[in-house]
Amino acid sequence: MPAPGENLRINGDRLWDSLMDMAKIGPGVAGGNNRQTLTDADGEGRALFKQWCDDAGCTMGVDSMGNMFARREGTDPDALPVYVGSHLDTQPTGGKYDGVLGVLGGLEVIRSLNDMGIKTKHPIVVTNWTNEEGTRFAPAMLASGVFAGVHTQDWAEDRTDAQGKRFGDELDRIGWRGDEPVGARKMHAFFELHIEQGPILEAEGKDIGVVTHGQGLAWIQVTITGKDAHTGSTPMPMRKNAGLGMARILEKVDEIAWSHKPHAVGAAGHIDVYPNSRNVIPGKVVFTVDFRSPDLAVIQDMEKRLYEEGEKIAADMGLTIEFEKVGGFDPVAFDDGCVSAIRGAAERLGYSHMNIISGAGHDACWINQVAPTAMVMCPCVDGLSHNEAEEISKEWATAGADVLLHAVVETAEIVS
Rule CB under 5 A: say whether 157 interacts with Mn ion.
no
* Closest separation in Å from C-beta 2 to Mn ion: 34
Rule CB under 5 A: say whether 99 interacts with Mn ion.
yes
* Closest separation in Å from C-beta 192 to Mn ion: 9
CA 230 and chain centroid, separation: 42
Query: What's the rounded Cα separation, in Å, for the pair 122 and 413?
Result: 7
3-state secondary structure at position 106: helix
Rule CB under 5 A: say whether 98 interacts with Mn ion.
yes
* Closest separation in Å from C-beta 98 to Mn ion: 4
Other C-beta atoms within 10 Å of 189: how many?
Answer: 23
Q: What is the total count of residues that contact ligand GLV (CB under 6 A)? A: 4
Of the pair 133, 196, the CB lying nearest ligand GLV is at 133
Query: What's the rounded Cα separation, in Å, for the pair 85 and 191?
Result: 7
Query: What's the rounded Cα separation, in Å, for the pair 73 and 70?
Result: 10
Of the pair 38, 360, the CB lying nearest ligand GLV is at 360
Interface stretch with Mn ion, choices 99-107, 111-119, 169-177, 311-319 (CB under 5 A): 99-107
- Which residues in 307-335 are b (16+ Cβ under 10 Å) and which e? eebbeebbeebebebeeeeebebebbebe
Rule CB under 5 A: say whether 196 interacts with Mn ion.
no
Contact pattern from residue 129 through residue 158 relative to ligand GLV, giving x for each residue in contact according to CB under 6 A and a dash for the rest: ----x------x------------------
Rule CB under 6 A: say whether 299 interacts with ligand GLV.
no
Answer with the entry of Mn ion, ligand GLV, none that 140 interacts with (C-beta below 5 to 8 A by kind): ligand GLV
Other C-beta atoms within 10 Å of 15: how many?
Answer: 24
Q: How far is CA 173 from CA 109, 273, 346, in A?
A: 32, 30, 43
CA 129 and chain centroid, separation: 9
Of the pair 102, 361, the CB lying nearest ligand GLV is at 361
Contact assessment for residue 28 and residue 389, using Cβ atoms and an 8 Å cutoff: no
Of the pair 106, 214, the CB lying nearest ligand GLV is at 214
* Closest separation in Å from C-beta 128 to Mn ion: 12
Is 115 exposed, middle or buried (CB count within 10 Å of its CB: 0-12, 13-18, 19+)? exposed
Answer with the entry of ligand GLV, Mn ion, none that 361 interacts with (C-beta below 5 to 8 A by kind): ligand GLV
* Closest separation in Å from C-beta 101 to Mn ion: 9
* Closest separation in Å from C-beta 140 to ligand GLV: 4
Of the pair 133, 410, the CB lying nearest ligand GLV is at 133
Query: What's the rounded Cα separation, in Å, for the pair 206 and 193?
Result: 15
Answer with the entry of ligand GLV, Mn ion, none that 256 interacts with (C-beta below 5 to 8 A by kind): none
Determine the Cα angle at 24 with ends 20 and 30, to 5°.
Answer: 95
Contact pattern from residue 344 through residue 363 relative to ligand GLV, giving x for each residue in contact according to CB under 6 A and a dash for the rest: ----------------xx--
Query: What's the rounded Cα separation, in Å, for the pair 40 and 36?
Result: 9
Contact pattern from residue 49 through residue 88 relative to Mn ion, giving x for each residue in contact according to CB under 5 A and a dash for the rest: ----------------------------------------
Other C-beta atoms within 10 Å of 230: how many?
Answer: 10
* Closest separation in Å from C-beta 404 to Mn ion: 15
Query: What's the rounded Cα separation, in Å, for the pair 314 and 226?
Result: 9
Rule CB under 6 A: say whether 364 interacts with ligand GLV.
no
> Which spans of this chain sit near ligand GLV (rule: CB under 6 A)?
133, 140, 360-361
